[in-house]
A and B are shown apart, each in its own frame.
Chain A
């Protein structure tokens, strides 16, 4: 399922434009990350994708259909949305009820729903009778994610899914998102953590001041100094090191050391004769 923005303008009030002509396409099955400073318009873009906001001008197309022509429930069947704060989303008294909520709202087949919910409970390791409000922050975020995943929407939009999570919880959430993407779901994610972006996203769209300032394959964008400056971004550590090396010695620009995107690539560039090394479990 594709998402297409065509010269989209949007604002919350007439005096403060938030998006000032945004155009991009997210192809079916892609994993795209939106990056940029606070106030760049990323979250507004996400709200336009699932129809919580309508564009003032321009078009937002989901599989070729403008969001203005779709009811919210029709959009909810196509686009799952994970909010930054799971407490906005959770509203039921048990984990099981919470996971079933979306099916009820969308008036879907409840037999199929029960089967899918059982599967998700097993996959995520939830206790179905737990009170969601008594779970810790990370587990609540996982539950909010699970309630999106269980609906099996072809597109999933994630607004800062790792905010407020510790490293272990962050890895767990991102692992689930990775599996979701591997099953063919289109994933659109807003994220401030460039390490996470570098590890998971196939493509990055950079926003600044209501405009798309750059877009392309993840490392191509994250290695572009002009883009990084324009959007006040700090690249992942390895890219940072290689960019610093390029600055120290311009002769290194084309060398494998200065083009390394991962720890393994950097190590291979420094010690090309060394045996293959596994970096599994090594902290970034």
Chain B
């Protein structure tokens, strides 16, 4: 697998789509998932997301994402089960009960999060960051500074993850046992390591800022990029489709 948020090359429809269309599609798709609580519809959207992943040859990576989202959604689901007393009572609690409605809400939340995350995840993996920032500047007229800030933030995430890994390895070599004592102990041992991570992050961002300045960052305008990002018929079709799905979601709500 490629590194975290590292472009996965390919020739699928998603790869070929206009970066702005992809981004809009993914964002509207995510919003749409929050417009409905219809579990069947959300399940269908999850399947649609998986079909998109399969078309880009990214099933393995997508399952990895789903696993991570599932862990997070499990916490939300647990909170919902314990706090929303609805439907037929199944288990009595001192403050209410766990009902069929609570479980349905928890399942819906999990499926919703999974369905909403997949297109966003795919968008970042099948679009080069440079294309994403250049296209939002050209097409959406977003100032380059803001687009660059966003893409460089995304770009730096794996860099900082690598830094943290390096720092943890260095401390492991000095005898710190991150693998002993469970999650709480691991967090307790990791907190002091935020200092070197912060120092290295500031140094790196400072270097990147200087490098950008000396290469004429401030002179860059919307016209500076030579590449054009025209909308093709399939871009329009994708946007129409996602808007139609929003309408369906609202109707099914």
In the complex, which residues of chain A have a beta carbon less than 8 angstroms from the beta carbon of B174? Answer: 76, 81, 89, 101-102, 105-106, 147
The closest CB in chain A to the CB of B167 belongs to A88
B200 sits at the interface (CB 8 A): yes
Q: Does A73 contact B169, Cβ atoms closer than 8 Å?
A: no
Q: Is A133 an interface residue (CB 8 A)?
A: yes
B61 at the interface (CB under 8 A from A): no
User: B residues within 8 A CB of A101?
Assistant: 174
A76 with B193, Cβ < 8 A, contacts A87-B199, A88-B166 known = no
A83 pairs with B173, CB closer than 8 A: yes
- Asked if A52 meets B195 with Cβ closer than 8 Å, knowing A73-B177, A77-B175, the reply is no
Interface residues of B in 174-189 (CB under 8 A from A): 174-177, 179-180
Q: Say yes or no: A71 contacts B177, CB within 8 Å.
A: yes
Main secondary structure of the interface of B (DSSP, over half): helix
Q: A87-B200, A90-B196, A133-B199 are in contact. Are A105 and B176 (CB under 8 A)?
A: yes
* Contact count A vs B, C-beta below 8 Å: 67
- Measured in the bound complex, the distance between the Cα atoms of B199 and A105 in whole Å is 22
Residues 200-221 of chain A, each 1 if its beta carbon lies under 8 Å from chain B, else 0:
0000000000000000000000
A131 to chain B: closest CB distance in Å?
10
Closest CB of chain A to B170's CB: distance in Å? 4
Tell me whether B152 is interfacial, beta carbon within 8 Å: no
Taking each of A83, A89, A91, A93, which has the highest tally of chain B beta carbons within 10 Å of its own beta carbon?
A91
Q: State A225–B147 Cα separation when bound (angstroms).
A: 54
A87, B166: Cα distance in complex, Å: 10
The residues of B that contact A81 with a CB separation of less than 8 Å are 170, 173-174
Q: Does A72 contact B (CB under 8 A)?
A: yes
What is the CB-to-nearest-CB distance from B202 to chain A, in angstroms, rounded to a whole number? 10
* 76-107 of chain A: CB within 8 A of chain B: 76-77, 79, 81, 83, 85, 87-93, 101-102, 105-106
Query: Residues of B at under 8 Å CB distance from A?
Result: 163, 166-167, 169-177, 179-180, 192-193, 195-196, 199-200, 203
User: What would 11 A/B residue contacts be, using CB atoms closer than 8 Å?
Assistant: A52-B172, A72-B173, A73-B176, A76-B172, A88-B167, A89-B167, A91-B171, A93-B195, A101-B174, A102-B174, A133-B195
